[in-house]
Amino acid sequence: MVNPLLGGLVRASRRYLTRHPWNLMLAIAGIGLGSAVVIAVDLTNSSARTAFRLSMEMLSGTATHQVVGGPRGVDETVYATLRLRPGSPPSAPVVSGTVTLGQRTYTLMGIDPLGSGAFRGDLEGMGDGVVERLLVTPGAIMMSAPRASTLGLERGDEVVLERAGGAHTATLAGTFRTANPAARDGLLVADIASAQELLGRVGRLDRIDLILEPGEEQAVADSLPAGLRLTPAAARTEAGARMTEAFHINLAAMSLLALLVGAFIIYNAMTFAVLSRRPLFGQLRVIGVTRGELFRLILGEALILGLVGTLVGMAGGIAIAQGLIGLVTRTINDLYFSLTVNQLLVSPTVLAKGMLVGLGATLLSALLPAREAARSEPVQVQRRSAVEAPMTGIIRRLAMVGIGLFVLAAGLLAVAPRALVPAFGALFMVVIGFSLLVPGLLVAGGRLLGPLLARVHPPLGTLALRGITRSLSRTAPAIAALTVAVAGTVGVAIMIESFRGTVELWLAQTLTSDIYVSAPESSSSRIAGRLDPALMASLESLPGVAATSRGRRVTVESEHGAVEVLALAMTDRGDRGFRFKGPVVDDLWVGLEAGDVVLVSEPYAWRHGVAAGDRLELFTATGWRTWRVGGVFYDYGSDRGLVVMHQPAYAAAWEDEAISALGLTLAPGEDLDTVMARVEERVAATAPAVRVRANRDLRAYSMEVFDRTFAITRVLRLLAVGVAVIGIIGALLALHLERSREYGTLRAIGATPRQMGGLIVLQSILMGLLAGVLALPLGLLMALMLIKVVYLRAFGWTMQTLIGAPLLAEAVALALGAALVAALYPAWRIARTPPAITLREE
Amino acid sequence: MEDNRPFGRPPPPLRYPMDQHDTPNDPAAATVTPVAARGLTKHYPAGKTFKTVLDGVDLTIAAEESVALLGRSGSGKSTLLNLLAGIDRPDDGELILLGRPLHRLAEGDRTLMRRRHLGFIYQAFNLIPTLTAAENVGLPLELNGWSRDATTRRVESLLAELDLHQAGDAFPDRLSGGEQQRVAIARALAHDPALVLADEPTGNLDSVTGGHVLELLLARARRGGQALLVVTHSLAVARQADRMVVLEDGRLTAGGAELAW
């Protein structure tokens, strides 16, 4: 049977909220905003991960294993040999690359239409004469039926496929159906021979897919020629996932920052929803409502508010995520892998998680005020001071817990000196710890500012300041939210600026040539193309060129998994543009040129615990071979790590004489533009797809990619501040709604509307100023932890710490501006409300 | 039609404006009638119609006079007080405060009139919780632009006079009800207003404390030469004033009001 008293309580609660729509809206908006940002980042992150997985699955099909080679891939004759061997397992050749059709990038995958059926069960509709057409029509391709329909293409239509090497005409031979969105939106299928031709990889395969029964692996591996390896298909996907892991962790950290800001806002909204009804709760207690009933009523109400708020947050989160996904996939495309899916994939799991986070934060936020309201004596519940009195008492305890969290964070970093997750844990402990110090710091700040304000702006200065320091239950969470948001901005901005400065310096030191000539990339795995030897010779002999360097950048297998190798040959030894971290071997340059020493980049050394003097095994054309590590150099080009070796040694080990980039250094006094014109002229005549860039352009391009990489971080930062601003507006409104009677009294004794508006604005400015000033030490601390701990552990990069005074001033201005924006509506509202209304009893 | 207004005959024409007396502590201001209202009418919306809360109220309070305003709950006492204070406007009638037509003044001017010439005491004290007792008392002085030293001297003197010298640094939530109301009285009188409006000043206090507070208020107002309007439910309180008026169904009834009540 339903408790009749409970029904009455629920009615009283419901009517209170519907008669005070502002309170209701504030609570729902606070919860909605807090959860929206978390859901948005989580959705974006999970969409990018799913897109990555689907893209990998699209390429892998149902293969269990793959035969892979070195930088030049696999010779196609290996496939023929493998296939013709009696009792050989099902196998299929694969060559793939990225092409552009219209405005969109697609993965073009070459398969054996007759032999790949078992592998491409995910692509339906490959029968019906399509196979024949793929085989006999030159440049025949297939795409998914929905994509063909979107593009308005029908069988037999011609399309132009562009890739870095030039444009090719292809014919749509048919369509397939697939459940994989990556394949549906971004896959083109062609016969292997057509694909090789379109991608400029005639005679070569990326890999051979195999379906092996358990126990067959060893026999197949043993039968492979030297320079080829058998690997499980899943290993490729896992390696890819590892590749972007740090990036995703970085995004997750930003979402946690948003969650933290959101949690403060939810806490604010919920405490207001409870505190503003203290008189009602007092009356209920007076008429016999028990503590338990009151506690359950408040928590039940929080549950409902949380549900509604989180649903609002879900809608908002999906909308924000729609805007973020493009930025995230672009970054992944820039840095890691060509994703063919770039739409938002709304995952029910993420939404459920967001719902749990929103509800959890709401209930946790409601717990403290609900417990406090339920435990107080009826007469106390009706008094506001009853809330603030214990609040001042717990400031010391909060500060102690805050300091305890700092100590814990330090301990965590010491106990786990390399792991990333504890580093984030420590970072968040520091942020939460500092937030707990905020009430105490506000009181201290109030003591400092009080005499000044009393002298400069009596009596409103004192009123404004006391309004903050004597209502800490309301103002401290709001200021803490703004402090954390602005500190996050300061921390991340210093980190980005430090990183940017470091990369700029590194580029200036590393890019020692004046002109760079590079071959177009030719596949989705970014295997660099090759420059024509005759063209290189011609360019190297140009008048005005004093020195040259030749390079080839490829991906090879190391004992620690796939690694990029940069093979360099320089005519001018100079300092070679390397800066080393720690000691180097004595015979560094001699050993390097002799071909038995390699250099490893800092991220590689960090990830795999490699140091100068250690051994490193790489899989060459003749199998595994060992090199000596000569030193660890600073490199910010790849977070996956880079191994540098002498080009002739590389060419011998991988039987690959190709060069993919050429650097030209001008003789002193030569005019760059004149030599550039000569280079461009020769390139245009023989290989128009080859790219020519001046040193300054390459640097500018690198910085452009850098800035694009951090676009998402900047957006998330702004989102966190935006949430905090709206939170502050909510907090101010709540504060002022609560004080309307006090304002009525002030108006009655002669404060003008203008003075009332000024009081609100001054109070808000003080809140902004306090938040801005408090954000500086926290922001600096966050920046140091991001640079010295988090980014080092995530990516293995040592960065300089560059702290610009304008950036710090901007942070304070941001907090002030945010608070000022937040004050406008409450100031307008309070100033225009007649005192008779505010003084009227409820 | 019979004239039911409490004064029997229409009051003389009201005189205004008298800007030359518009400064506190001006001896000439004391010679002007602090407040004179004629035909004050106020309606409030009640669903689709309007309810008349005040219906042609006439009331004059002379300098140094204390008037008790009696009336049942909902009789319009607080509305009348709000109109006299200029924090609400009448729908009809005239209201002259110190010779100036308060009902015609713009919001800013009404605010300045309140700031300079009115003092308020509320049943719920309405002290500013974020200010100490001394700061609450000093608030009207600071709003009126008194210097820091002058404010401090005045506040100390008032606190001592009202036996609150120990309570100056305490915040309102640390004071008893009687102490809070004494602080409210000190705040209302701090700037020597011409008119003090007190809304149920003893309503939240026990009878002994209430009696003491009222005594203090009346004595201090008389000594300061202020006109005083006390809204109350209590005949005992009302009897201590120079004159009583009763508000019933939106109209003031006086004369035999004491007996009728």
pLDDT in tens, A437-472: 999 999 999 889 888 888 877 788 888 888 888 888
**B185-194 b/e (C-beta count within 10 Å ≥ 16 → b):** bbbbbbbbbb
Q: Domain count for chain A, please give it.
A: 3
Contact predicate A683/A535, CB 8 Å: yes
Q: Is A451 on the interface with B (CB under 8 A)?
A: no
Tell me if B111 and A462 make a contact (CB, 8 A cut-off). Answer: no
Q: Is residue A28 part of a domain?
A: yes
Instruction: Give how far A836 is from chain B: nearest CA, Å.
Output: 6
Tell me if A750 and B120 make a contact (CB, 8 A cut-off). Answer: no
Collect all residues of chain B within an 8 Å Cβ-Cβ radius of residue A745.
120, 122, 126-128
Is residue A135 domain-shared with residue A277, that is, in the same domain?
no
User: What is the model's pLDDT at position A571?
Assistant: 66
Collect all residues of chain B within an 8 Å Cβ-Cβ radius of residue A388.
173
Of the pLDDT bands very low, low, confident and very high (cuts 50, 70, 90), residue B257 is: very low
Instruction: Give how far A15 is from chain B: nearest CA, Å.
Output: 19
Contact predicate A755/A430, CB 8 Å: no
Collect all residues of chain A within an 8 Å Cβ-Cβ radius of residue B143.
459, 749-751, 755
In this prediction, residues A280-306 reach a mean pLDDT of 79
Domain final residue pick, A205, A221, A246: A205
Collect all residues of chain B within an 8 Å Cβ-Cβ radius of residue A466.
130-131
Tell me if B143 and A459 make a contact (CB, 8 A cut-off). Answer: yes
Backbone angles phi, psi at A376, to 5 degrees: -75, 155
User: Which token pair is A207?
Assistant: 């890999």
Domain final residue pick, A673, A689, A705: A689
Tell me if B131 and A749 make a contact (CB, 8 A cut-off). Answer: no
Outline where A337-471 has alpha helix (H): 348-375, 378-381, 385-415, 420-456, 460-469
Q: Which residues contact A298 (CB under 8 A, 6 or more apart)?
A: A274, A281, A366, A369, A370, A373, A374
Q: Is A110 on the interface with B (CB under 8 A)?
A: no
Outline where chain B has alpha helix (H): 77-85, 107-117, 133-143, 148-161, 177-189, 207-224, 235-239, 257-260
Range from A129-138, A283-292, A551-560, B179-188 carrying the lowest mean pLDDT: A283-292
Is residue A582 domain-shared with residue A628, that is, in the same domain?
yes
Is residue A525 domain-shared with residue A553, that is, in the same domain?
yes
Average pLDDT, chain A: 82
Collect all residues of chain A within an 8 Å Cβ-Cβ radius of residue B127.
745
Per-residue pLDDT at A220 exceeds 60: yes
In a mutational test of the A interface, the residue from B77, B110, B111 whose CB has the highest number of chain A CBs within 10 Å is B111
In a mutational test of the B interface, the residue from A472, A743, A745, A842 whose CB has the highest number of chain B CBs within 10 Å is A745
Collect all residues of chain A within an 8 Å Cβ-Cβ radius of residue B140.
749-750
Per the model's pLDDT, the better-predicted residue between A542 and A131 turns out to be A542
User: What is the model's pLDDT at position A127?
Assistant: 59
Is residue A534 domain-shared with residue A562, that is, in the same domain?
yes
Q: Is residue A312 part of a domain?
A: yes
Q: Is A750 on the interface with B (CB under 8 A)?
A: yes
Per-residue pLDDT at B11 exceeds 60: no
Q: Is B148 on the interface with A (CB under 8 A)?
A: yes
Query: C-alpha angle with apex A245: A240 to A248, nearest 5 degrees?
Result: 125
Collect all residues of chain B within an 8 Å Cβ-Cβ radius of residue A744.
87, 126
Tell me if A749 and B187 make a contact (CB, 8 A cut-off). Answer: yes
**Percent above pLDDT 90 for chain A:** 15
Tell me if A470 and B129 make a contact (CB, 8 A cut-off). Answer: yes
Tell me if A750 and B115 make a contact (CB, 8 A cut-off). Answer: yes
Q: Is B85 on the interface with A (CB under 8 A)?
A: yes
Collect all residues of chain A within an 8 Å Cβ-Cβ radius of residue B114.
748-750
Q: Is residue A329 part of a domain?
A: yes
In this prediction, residues A25-49 reach a mean pLDDT of 81
**Percent above pLDDT 90 for chain B:** 25
d(CA A133, CA B174): 93
What's the half-sphere exposure (Cβ side, CA atoms, 13 Å) at A141?
33
DSSP secondary structure of A628-648: EEEEEE---S-SS-EEEEEHH
Contact predicate A815/A526, CB 8 Å: no
Q: Is A77 on the interface with B (CB under 8 A)?
A: no
Q: Is B170 on the interface with A (CB under 8 A)?
A: no
| Range 755-794 of A in CB contact (< 8 A) with B | 755
Angle at which helix A348-375 crosses helix A21-60, to 10 degrees, equals 150
Of the pLDDT bands very low, low, confident and very high (cuts 50, 70, 90), residue A690 is: confident
Residue with tokens 């058998």, as numbered in its chain: A230
Residue A128's CB is within 10 A of a number of other CB atoms, namely: 9
Is residue A55 domain-shared with residue A125, that is, in the same domain?
no
> H or E element: which one contains B58?
strand B49-61
Per-residue pLDDT at A709 exceeds 80: no
In this prediction, residues B207-223 reach a mean pLDDT of 82
| Minimum Cα–Cα distance from B78: chain A residue | A840
Q: How many helices (H) and strands (E) does chain A have?
A: 29, 21
Q: Is B82 on the interface with A (CB under 8 A)?
A: yes
User: What is the model's pLDDT at position B258?
Assistant: 44
Of the pLDDT bands very low, low, confident and very high (cuts 50, 70, 90), residue A389 is: low
| Minimum Cα–Cα distance from A749: chain B residue | B115
Is residue A44 domain-shared with residue A79, that is, in the same domain?
no
User: What is the model's pLDDT at position A378?
Assistant: 59
d(CA B94, CA A509): 86
Q: Is A466 on the interface with B (CB under 8 A)?
A: yes
Collect all residues of chain B within an 8 Å Cβ-Cβ radius of residue A471.
130
d(CA A438, CA A432): 10
Range from A44-48, A384-388, A544-548, B190-194 carrying the lowest mean pLDDT: A384-388
Of the pLDDT bands very low, low, confident and very high (cuts 50, 70, 90), residue A573 is: low
Instruction: Give how far A581 is from chain B: nearest CA, Å.
Output: 58
Range from A124-133, A225-234, A302-311, A755-764 carrying the lowest mean pLDDT: A124-133
Tell me if B122 and A749 make a contact (CB, 8 A cut-off). Answer: no
- 3-class state of residue A783 by DSSP: helix
Domain final residue pick, A328, A363, A383: A383
Q: Is B125 on the interface with A (CB under 8 A)?
A: no
Distance of CA A301 to CAs A286, A307, A315, A355, Å? 20, 10, 21, 16
Of the pLDDT bands very low, low, confident and very high (cuts 50, 70, 90), residue B153 is: very high
Report DSSP state, residue A143: E
Instruction: Give how far B233 is from chain A: nearest CA, Å.
Output: 17
Q: Which residues contact A379 (CB under 8 A, 6 or more apart)?
A: A282
Q: Which of A744, A753, A755 sits opposite B107 (nearest CB)?
A: A753
Is residue A150 domain-shared with residue A27, that is, in the same domain?
no
User: What is the model's pLDDT at position A453?
Assistant: 85
| Range 18-37 of B in CB contact (< 8 A) with A | none
CA-derived radius of gyration, chain B: 18
Instruction: Give how far A742 is from chain B: nearest CA, Å.
Output: 6
Q: Which residues contact A209 (CB under 8 A, 6 or more apart)?
A: A60, A61, A63, A65, A66, A91, A92, A93, A94, A116, A119, A233
Is residue A40 domain-shared with residue A97, that is, in the same domain?
no
User: Which token pair is A261?
Assistant: 């800001």
Q: Which of A385, A754, A755 sits opposite B129 (nearest CB)?
A: A385
Q: Is residue A109 part of a domain?
A: yes
User: What is the model's pLDDT at position A181?
Assistant: 76
Of the pLDDT bands very low, low, confident and very high (cuts 50, 70, 90), residue A267 is: confident
Contact predicate A203/A75, CB 8 Å: yes
Is residue A288 domain-shared with residue A354, that is, in the same domain?
yes
User: What is the model's pLDDT at position A2?
Assistant: 45
Query: Among B166, B193, B195, which residue's Cα sits nearest to residue B179?
Result: B166
Of the pLDDT bands very low, low, confident and very high (cuts 50, 70, 90), residue A333 is: low
| Minimum Cα–Cα distance from B135: chain A residue | A459
d(CA B111, CA B126): 18
d(CA A356, CA A363): 10
Instruction: Give how far A385 is from chain B: nearest CA, Å.
Output: 6
In a mutational test of the B interface, the residue from A463, A832, A839, A841 whose CB has the highest number of chain B CBs within 10 Å is A839
Of the pLDDT bands very low, low, confident and very high (cuts 50, 70, 90), residue A710 is: confident
Of the pLDDT bands very low, low, confident and very high (cuts 50, 70, 90), residue B255 is: very low
> H or E element: which one contains A231?
strand A229-232
Collect all residues of chain B within an 8 Å Cβ-Cβ radius of residue A458.
142, 148
Q: Is residue A463 part of a domain?
A: no
Per-residue pLDDT at B12 exceeds 70: no
Domain range for A137? 74-205
Collect all residues of chain A within an 8 Å Cβ-Cβ radius of residue B115.
749-751
User: What is the model's pLDDT at position A33?
Assistant: 79
- A with B: how many residue pairs have Cβ under 8 Å apart? 86
Tell me if B139 and A741 make a contact (CB, 8 A cut-off). Answer: no
Of the pLDDT bands very low, low, confident and very high (cuts 50, 70, 90), residue B7 is: very low
| Range 332-391 of A in CB contact (< 8 A) with B | 383-385, 388-389
Q: In terms of C-beta density within 10 A (0-12 exposed, 13-18 middle, 19 or more buried), how is residue A452 classed? A: exposed
Answer yes or no: CATH 3.30.360.10 is held by domain B28-260: no
ipTM above 0.95, yes or no: no
Q: Is residue A47 part of a domain?
A: yes
User: What is the model's pLDDT at position B24?
Assistant: 43
Per-residue pLDDT at A373 exceeds 50: yes
Q: Which of A751, A755, A834 sits opposite B88 (nearest CB)?
A: A834
Collect all residues of chain B within an 8 Å Cβ-Cβ radius of residue A750.
111-112, 114-116, 118, 140, 143-144
Is residue A11 domain-shared with residue A122, that is, in the same domain?
no
Beta partners for residue B197, in sequence order: B120, B229
Instruction: Give how far B242 is from chain A: nearest CA, Å.
Output: 25
Q: Is B120 on the interface with A (CB under 8 A)?
A: yes
